[in-house]
């Protein structure tokens, strides 16, 4: 990894921030992209304090032009782009029929278009270096889950995009990987959106185990180093998904529905009325 250049979106907190610090420690030069410049400065200071190289590129990933500028600024500063890590995103947990269309569109813009835009602009540069495109998705982007219909749809879209790119770009030597964790202990857990598109006052209960962010970072870095196509966290989910291919979805449906009944959503004071 020594001497490579990585552009990381969502680098101001959570998985993006943790991966940025880890890769910088491995000798990767980092371009940090997120909306809040002050928070990016904190991450850059941490990296530079430990002897690493960091560039701040304030970016709203829902704007295609802003993503173009982030990619071009990275290449201007470091001379190349070896890794694009798309980690920016928001989480939502809400019953689909109660969720406003405005909130749905916002989640899709941030999670899907916020991955598509920087990827589209980065591809020519990553082809030149035979580098890597990596997206942070979610297990709900691999398997339908109640009250995660909107969030899951945005991650299914990321999954479809990157699986297609893996095949399209293979002949150019580009590595394309997808990291799909379950619940992770990041600040995002405290800002889960409700049906009106605003964060829940009290974050909804988590139906499954919350994994430490270091677990995700370890797996993501290994995916990069070994140029793997996919990482699921926890790993035992992969054989379970394979089992569903033989048995059908009934067992998974039963397990998931049972867990979610035990951890229901709290009532919401703004329920959508029929039109």
Distances (CA, A) of 260 to 104, 125, 171, 181, 226: 21, 43, 43, 18, 36
If one compares 126 and 260, the residue with the highest pLDDT of the two is 126
**pLDDT attached to residue 261:** 79
**pLDDT attached to residue 46:** 96
Whether residue 162 lies in the annotated active site: no
Neighbours of 167 (CB within 10 A): 9
Share of the chain above pLDDT 90, in %: 76
Catalytic residue among 117, 148, 151, 162: 151
Domains of the chain (ranges, CATH numbers): 5-262 (3.40.50.720)
Phi-psi region of 16 (alpha: psi -120 to 50; beta: other; left: phi over 0): alpha
Residue whose structure tokens are 């989480």: 91
**Per-residue pLDDT tens for 44-102?**
999 999 999 999 999 999 999 999 999 999 999 999 999 999 999 999 999 999 999 99
Residue 268 has pLDDT above 90, yes or no: no
pLDDT, average across residues 29-48: 96
**Per-residue pLDDT tens for 106-141?**
999 999 999 999 999 999 999 999 999 999 999 999
**pLDDT attached to residue 227:** 97
User: Average pLDDT, whole number, for the chain?
Assistant: 92
Spatial distance between the Cα atoms of 184 and 188, rounded to a whole number of angstroms: 9
**pLDDT attached to residue 272:** 54
Structure tokens at 174: 């580009």
Spatial distance between the Cα atoms of 170 and 157, rounded to a whole number of angstroms: 20
> Vertex 243, ends 238 and 247: CA angle to 5°?
155
- pTM strictly above 0.95: no
pLDDT, average across residues 138-161: 95
Confidence of residue 264 (pLDDT cuts 50, 70, 90): confident
Spatial distance between the Cα atoms of 91 and 96, rounded to a whole number of angstroms: 14
Is there a contact between 46 and 21 (Cβ–Cβ < 8 Å)? Answer: yes
Residue 251 has pLDDT above 70, yes or no: yes
């Amino acid at each position: 990894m020594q001497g490579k250049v990585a552009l990381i979106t969502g680098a101001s907190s959570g998985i993006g921030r943790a991966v940025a610090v880890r890769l910088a420690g491995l000798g990767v030069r980092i371009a940090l992209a997120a909306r809040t410049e002050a928070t990016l400065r904190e991450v850059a200071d941490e990296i530079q304090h430990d002897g690493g190289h960091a560039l701040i590129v304030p970016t709203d990933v829902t704007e295609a032009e802003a993503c173009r500028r982030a990619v071009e600024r990275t290449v201007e500063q470091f001379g190349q782009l070896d890794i694009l890590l798309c980690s920016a995103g928001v989480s939502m947990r809400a019953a689909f029929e109660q969720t406003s269309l405005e909130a749905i569109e916002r989640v899709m813009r941030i999670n899907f278009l916020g991955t598509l835009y920087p990827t589209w602009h980065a591809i020519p540069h990553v082809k030149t270096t035979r580098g890597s495109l990596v997206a942070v998705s979610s297990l709900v982007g691999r398997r339908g889950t109640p009250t995660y219909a909107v969030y899951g749809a945005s991650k299914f879209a990321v999954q479809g995009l990157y699986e297609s790119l893996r095949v399209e770009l293979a002949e150019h030597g580009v590595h394309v990987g997808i990291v799909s964790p379950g619940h992770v202990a990041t600040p995002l857990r405290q800002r889960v959106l409700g049906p009106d598109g605003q964060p829940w006052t009290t974050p909804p209960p988590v139906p499954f185990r919350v994994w430490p962010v270091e677990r995700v970072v370890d797996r993501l870095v290994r995916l990069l180093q070994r140029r793997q196509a996919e990482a699921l966290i926890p790993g035992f989910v992969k054989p379970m998904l394979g089992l569903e291919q033989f048995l059908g979805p009934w067992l998974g449906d039963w397990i998931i529905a049972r867990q979610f009944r035990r951890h229901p959503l709290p009532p919401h004071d703004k329920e959508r009325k029929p039109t």
